[in-house]
Each structure stands twice: as structure tokens, then as C-alpha cells.
Chains A and B, each alone.
Chain A
Amino acid sequence: AQSVTQLGSHVSVSEGALVLLRCNYSSSVPPYLFWYVQYPNQGLQLLLKYTSAATLVKGINGFEAEFKKSETSFHLTKPSAHMSDAAEYFCAVSDSGGTGNQFYFGTGTSLTVIP
């Protein structure tokens, strides 16, 4: 069974500070992992995805995430927060083990950027 845990439902950072959003996964097969961002009253936008090609994945808007198998983690980082980064962030794992492309989402982390 696949599942994702996002520690910290709310994260606040100052503008220009490091952003770190945590995601831990549980998967019985090699996982495919995704980070999505959702701005108010909008759909989900793909930030980046891990598909086993490289452990450090670079995404859009300066975000990146590192896959650590030993820690079963896929934390999202950005060196310097911008006001425009304020949004809801979802980590997801895909059930790609032959039973279909279902995504299992974490509960989300709301990022606030303080000017």
C-alpha cells in the first residue's frame, strides 16, 4: 500500500529564507513521487517528479527535491523564498505497481511567506 506523510500542516518562512517542506512515503514498490503546488482557487500545478532517473530533482520556480531511499523521504526545498511562493503544497506517490496510475496525496502543507 502506498501512503504519504507531510509533516507540518503550516510552515512560515521569511522572504529570502530557505524553504523546507517535508514528505515521507511508504511504498511496497519503487515509488514515483510528485510535488504539486496549489494557489488559492486554482488547480494543482506540477512542481517536479521523481522517476528513479536521478535522486536530486529540479523543478519549476527554483524548487528542488531529493529522494532519499534510506530515509523514505522526498523533501522539497527552495534556497530563497519569494512572496509568490505562498500556497498549498501537496506531495503525492503513485501506485504504479501494475494496478493503475492512482495518486495518493499527503494532507498538504500551507506555506506562508513573511515580508
Chain B
Amino acid sequence: DTEVTQTPKHLVMGMTNKKSLKCEQHMGHRAMYWYKQKAKKPPELMFVYSYEKLSINESVPSRFSPECPNSSLLNLHLHALQPEDSALYLCASSLTYLSGGIADTQYFGPGTRLTVL
């Protein structure tokens, strides 16, 4: 099973709202990723968690707050977003992040379509 699940599928929020995106995998992967994807563009890396610790933050604004409560679950907390934050948010996981020179396949979830009004 190579499934990554994401909820909700769609989310509409105002600029003053607080909401959260959820990502889950049960493949025993120890690396999890958040990406942002605008229409007709490639995914842009936001955060990487390795063994539940934040390893990479690609200079993402503080209105996006990631959390990894356990090895299977990844959350993205949203607060005071701007309309330009509207995008498809993708979660991915891989076996490891630091694998000593071997690339592990990243498996992607279906995404959450976020609209900020």
C-alpha cells in the first residue's frame, strides 16, 4: 500500500480564520513533506520532517505552521492567510530523508485545494 491521505479535499477560508490540513500515511515512512502547488506549476517544497523533527523550512511565512505529532501524521496549521496563498497543498512521504546517497521515492497524497477569500 503506497497511500497518503489528505483531509479535507477542499477548504475555503477567510483571511482571519484558523484552519488545519491533515496528512496521514501508514507505510512506515519516516520523512514527510508539505508542498504548495499553483496552477500549471510544479510543486514547491515548504517543509520537510524527518523522524518527527523539522529538517527543512523553505523560508515559509509564519502564517503556515507545520506539526508532526507522530510518525504517521503531519498537520499544517493555517492562520491569517492571504488570497495569494490559494493553491493545491500536497503532502508526500518517503522512507527516509537522509539515506546516505540513495534517493527514496516520494509518494504524494491527493492534495487539499485551498481558497482564501
A-side residues, CB < 8 A to B, are 29, 32, 34, 36, 41-46, 49, 51, 88, 90, 94, 96-98, 100-103, 105-108, 110
Whole-angstrom CA separation of A34 from B109 in the bound complex: 17
Quick one: given A100-B55, A101-B31, A105-B42, are A46 and B105 in contact (CB under 8 Å)?
yes
A91's nearest neighbour on chain B, judged by CB, is B42
Contact between chains at A98 and B104 (CB < 8 Å)? no
Contact between chains at A101 and B111 (CB < 8 Å)? no
**How far does the Cβ of A112 sit from chain B's closest Cβ, in whole Å?**
13
Whole-angstrom CA separation of A44 from B19 in the bound complex: 24
Contact between chains at B90 and A44 (CB < 8 Å)? yes
In addition to A42-B110, A45-B108, 19 A-B residue pairs with Cβ atoms within 8 Å of each other are A29-B101, A41-B111, A42-B111, A43-B109, A43-B111, A44-B92, A46-B107, A49-B103, A96-B99, A96-B102, A97-B101, A100-B50, A101-B97, A101-B104, A101-B106, A103-B45, A103-B106, A107-B41, A107-B42
Q: Which residues of chain A are near B104, meaning CB under 8 Å?
A: 101
Contact between chains at B108 and A44 (CB < 8 Å)? yes
Q: Which residues of chain A are near B45, meaning CB under 8 Å?
A: 102-103
**How far does the Cβ of B77 sit from chain A's closest Cβ, in whole Å?**
21
**How far does the Cβ of B31 sit from chain A's closest Cβ, in whole Å?**
6
A95's nearest neighbour on chain B, judged by CB, is B103
- B63-117 residues with Cβ-Cβ distance < 8 A to A are 88, 90, 92, 94, 96-111, 113
| B42 in complex: contacting residue of A97, A100, A106, CB < 8 Å | A106
